[in-house]
Amino acid sequence: MSNMSTLASIIFLSAIAAMVIVYPMYFIELHAFGRIMARDHPDLVGQQSPDLGGSYKLLQRVKSGQIGALDLSPEALLSHASAERLLYLGSSLFMVVLFMGLTDAVLSKHVGRA
């Protein structure tokens, strides 16, 4: 980061470090959500735990604590909320890193010409 201030560099590096922690936590929670759904709602999932793609599809189908007309179990609701929170946190951290990196690149280019 050529022209970044010390504070901006700290924020950038902190966001990257947090992403390294948050993304694995998200995938672990997503896997747990799939296992809980297979255990508590086999009619929706089947007997085996879905893969991460299937778990993500289930995560997206939940609306107001329900999938269709079926209410989710309390443990599934808690796992859904945790996975969704980690997904949004990871996405936000990625956007911070992206914004700061692009800003630094643009400023470097324009400051270099002046």
Q: Is 1 a domain residue? A: no
Q: Does 31 reside within a domain?
A: yes
Task: With a cut of 50, say whether residue 1 has pLDDT above it.
Answer: no
Share of the chain above pLDDT 90, in %: 69
Q: Does 104 fall in a domain?
A: yes
Question: What's the rounded Cα separation, in Å, for the pair 4 and 100?
Answer: 9
| Residue 29 belongs to a domain | yes
* pLDDT beyond 70 at 43: yes
Q: Which domain holds residue 67?
A: 9-109
Q: How many domains does the chain have?
A: 1
| 33 within a domain of the structure (yes/no) | yes
> Domain for residue 3, yes or no?
no
Render pLDDT for 66-106 as a digit per residue (tens, 0 to 9).
998 889 999 999 999 999 999 999 999 999 999 998 988 88
What pTM was computed for the model?
0.83
Domain membership of residue 63 (yes or no) is yes
In contact, 72 and 66? CB cutoff 8 Å: yes
